[in-house]
Chains A and B, each alone.
Chain A
Amino acid sequence: GGIITQTPKFLIGQEGQKLTLKCQQNFNHDTMYWYRQDSGKGLRLIYYSITENDLQKGDLSEGYDASREKKSSFSLTVTSAQKNEMAVFLCASSIHRGDERLFFGHGTKLSVL
């Protein structure tokens, strides 16, 4: 079996700061995703990537950048952290686009002071 590793597990930032979250998968999956999870709001798609160097915007992409330099890694950047923002960012992968069974990491919990 494979695993998805997200770093860091907890991230505390300052308002206006640029923050980067990292995700690694060893499933050898083609497609990777970043979701944001707010309390009581389910999961919302920020970015996804169907292969190395590909980036596709989700519904929530404004305020974020992403990078997929290698097949196994997908990073997400919060371009300017918002004061009092608190959310969990979940990275996921799937075998390929069209097989939407997702495998998730444990998440990065972001708090902005």
Chain B
Amino acid sequence: SQWGEENLQALSIQEGEDVTMNCSYKTYTTVVQWYRQKSGKGPALIILIRSNEREKRSGRLRATLDTSSQSSSLSITGTLATDTAVYFCATEDNYAQGLTFGLGTRVSVFP
């Protein structure tokens, strides 16, 4: 099966800073989804980018997708303490079962 991988495991930043995390995946996917998981909660979808899109924005979130290098990034601008969470990328392909999740990037935003 395919496994996504984040290149950074944990990030600590101050409120107001921008942060970018990366995800590389091993096999073809038609879509990359980014989920945010806050402590004690289940993951929640925050942005989805399809293979025919290079960039997608949603509020302070920006996702990019480079299908040639099989990588995606998630950026958060002007971080808030409430952005503290683990962020997962998830990919899907036609041969696997549902989504394949990366290991996650823990982002801690300090006031």
Contacts and interface: CB of A to CB of B under 8 A. Distances in A.
B99 A102 contact: yes
Given A42-B101, A106-B42, 4 more contacts: A42-B104, A102-B45, A103-B45, A104-B42
Contacts of B35: 102
A48 to B, nearest CB: 6
Nearest to A100: B92
A45 B4 CA distance: 14
A106 B101 contact: no
B101 A43 contact: yes
A106 to B, nearest CB: 5
Interface residues on A, range: 20 to 34
Contacts, number: 56
Interface in A68-113: 90, 92, 94, 100-107
B40 interface: yes
A33 B98 contact: yes
30 contacts: A4-B42, A31-B98, A33-B98, A40-B103, A42-B3, A42-B4, A42-B88, A42-B101, A42-B102, A42-B103, A43-B88, A45-B97, A45-B98, A45-B99, A48-B97, A58-B97, A90-B42, A100-B92, A100-B99, A101-B45, A102-B33, A102-B35, A102-B45, A103-B45, A104-B42, A104-B44, A106-B40, A106-B41, A106-B42, A107-B41
